[in-house]
Amino acid sequence: MHVELHHITKTFGGLRANDALSLSFAEGRIYALLGENGAGKSTLMKILSGYQPPDSGQILIDGRAVTFETPADALRCGIGMLHQDPLDVPNLTVLDNFMLGRREGLLPKRKAARAALEQHAARLGFHLDPFRYVDSLTIGERQQLEIVRLLSLGARLLILDEPTTGISAEQKQTLFSSLKRLAAQEGMTIILVSHKLEDVAALCEEVYVLRGGKLVGHRHMPTSIDELVTLMFGQSLPPPARRQSALGEEILRAEAVSLTARRLTVRDLWLSVRRGEVIGLAGLDGSGQSDFLRACAGLQPLNGGRILIGGIPIRGKGYAELLRMGVAYAPSGRLEEGLVDGLTLTEHFALARAGGAWINWRAMTALAAEQIGRYNIRGMPHSPVQTLSGGNQQRALIALLPENLRLLLLEDPTRGLDVESTAWVWQQLLARRDQGAAILFTSPDLDEIVTYSDRVLVFCDGRATLVSDLAASTRNPAEQLGELIGGKVYEPR
Amino acid sequence: MNLAKARGALLTFSGALGVALVLIALIMLSLDKAPLAAGRRFLDGVFGTPSARADVVMAALPMLLCAAGLLLTFTAGLWNIGVEGQVTMGAIFATIIARTIPRDVSEWGILAALILPAELLLAMLGGALWAGLTALLKLRGGINEIFGGVALNFISVNILLSLVNGPWRVGTFPQTAPFASAALLPRHPELRLSPLAIAIALIAFGAVFMALRGTRFGLALRAIGRNAKSAGILGVRVERHILWAMIACGALAGLAGAFQVLFTRGRLLPNISGGIGFMGVLIVLLVGVRAAWVLPVALFVATVPVGSLKLATSLDSSVQIDAALGNVFQGALVLAVLIGGGIRARLAARRKERAEHG
Ligand SMILES: Nc1ncnc2c1ncn2[C@@H]1O[C@H](COP(=O)(O)OP(=O)(O)OP(=O)(O)O)[C@@H](O)[C@H]1O
Ligand SMILES: [Mg+2]
User: How far is CA A194 from each of CA A36, A88, A203, A204, rounded to the nearest angstrom?
Assistant: 10, 21, 11, 11
Confidence grade of residue A471 (pLDDT, cut at 50, 70, 90):
low
Q: Nearest residue CA, atom 20 of ligand 1?
A: A38
Going from the Cα of A41 to the center of ligand 2, the distance in angstroms, rounded, reads 6
How far does CA A161 lie from the centroid of its chain?
10
**Domains, chain A:** 3-233 (3.40.50.300), 250-326+402-485 (3.40.50.300)
Q: Measured between beta carbons, which residues in chain A are less than 8 angstroms from residue B243?
A: none
The ipTM assigned to this model is: 0.84
Q: What is the mean pLDDT of chain A?
A: 85
Which comes out higher in pLDDT, residue B284 or B12?
Answer: B284
Residue A21's closest CA among A281, A264, A215? Answer: A215
Interchain CB distance below 8 Å, A55 and B234 = no
Question: What is the distance between the alpha carbons of residues A106 and B272, in angstroms, rounded to a whole number?
Answer: 48
Q: Which residue of A has its CA nearest to B234?
A: A352
> How many angstroms separate the alpha carbon of residue A9 from the centre of ligand 1?
13
Check CB contact under 8 Å for B234 and A355.
Answer: no
Question: Is the C-beta atom of A381 inside 6 A of ligand 1?
Answer: no
**A90 reaches B (C-beta below 8 A):** no
Report which of B282, B223, B237, B218 is spatially closest to residue B66, judged by C-alpha positions: B282
Q: What is the pLDDT of residue B3?
A: 64
Percent of chain B with pLDDT over 90: 53
A181 has pLDDT over 80? yes
Mean pLDDT in residue range A332-343: 82
Residue A493 has pLDDT above 60, yes or no: no
Q: How far are the Cα atoms of A236, A410, A422, A427, A444 from residue A414, in angstroms, in the given order?
A: 19, 9, 6, 12, 10
Q: How close B355 comes to chain A (CA, Å)? A: 9
Ligand nearest to the CA of A40: 1
Q: Which ligand ends up closest to the CA of B352?
A: 1
| Burial class of residue A472 (count of CB atoms within 10 Å of its CB; 0-12, 13-18, 19+) | exposed
Ligand 1 pocket residue status of A286, Cβ below 6 Å? no
Ligand 1 pocket mutation, candidates A42, A210, A382, A395, criterion most atoms within 8 A of CB: A42
Tell me what percent of the residues of chain A surpass a pLDDT of 90: 33
- Mean pLDDT, range B3-19, rounded to an integer: 78
Q: Does A318 touch chain B (CB under 8 A)?
A: yes
Note the pLDDT of residue B358: 38
Does residue B358 belong to the interface with chain A, where contact is any CB pair within 8 Å? no
Question: Cα angle vertex A112, ends A106, A113, to 5°?
Answer: 75
Which residue type occupies B347?
L
Residue A243: its pLDDT value, please?
Answer: 53
Is residue A272 pLDDT above 90, yes or no? yes
pLDDT tens for residues B327-358? 788 788 878 877 887 787 777 777 666 655 53
Task: Please say if the pLDDT value at position A236 is more than 70.
Answer: no
To test ligand 1's pocket by mutation, which of A33, A83, A389 has the most ligand atoms within 8 angstroms of CB?
A: A389
Q: Which pLDDT value is given to residue B67? A: 96
For the residues of A139-162, what is the DSSP string, one character each? Answer: HHHHHHHHHHHHHHTT-SEEEEES
Mean pLDDT, chain B, integer: 89
* pLDDT range class, residue A99, cuts 50, 70, 90: confident
Q: Which of A231-240, B175-184, B201-210 has the lowest mean pLDDT?
A: A231-240
| Pairing, β A278-283 against β A438-442 | parallel
Q: Measured between CA atoms, how close is A488 to chain B, in angstroms?
A: 36
Q: Which of A9, A43, A46, A339 has most ligand 1 atoms within 8 Å of CB, for mutation? A: A43
**Confidence label for A488 from pLDDT (cuts 50, 70 and 90):** low
Closest partner residue to A359 (CB to CB) among B219, B227, B229 is B219
* A478 pLDDT more than 90: no
Going by pLDDT thresholds of 50, 70 and 90, the confidence category of residue B89 is very high
Residues 30-59 of A with CB under 8 A from B: 53-55
3-state secondary structure of B333: helix
Percent of chain B with pLDDT over 70: 96
Q: Do A323 and B235 touch (CB under 8 A)?
A: yes
Quick check: bond before A90 cis, omega within 30? no
Of residues A193 and A420, the one with the higher pLDDT is A193
Q: What share of chain A is helix, strand, coil (3-state, %, to 5)?
A: 35, 25, 40
pLDDT digits (tens, 9 = 90+) for A434-444: 888 999 999 88
pLDDT in tens, A353-376: 877 889 999 999 999 999 999 888
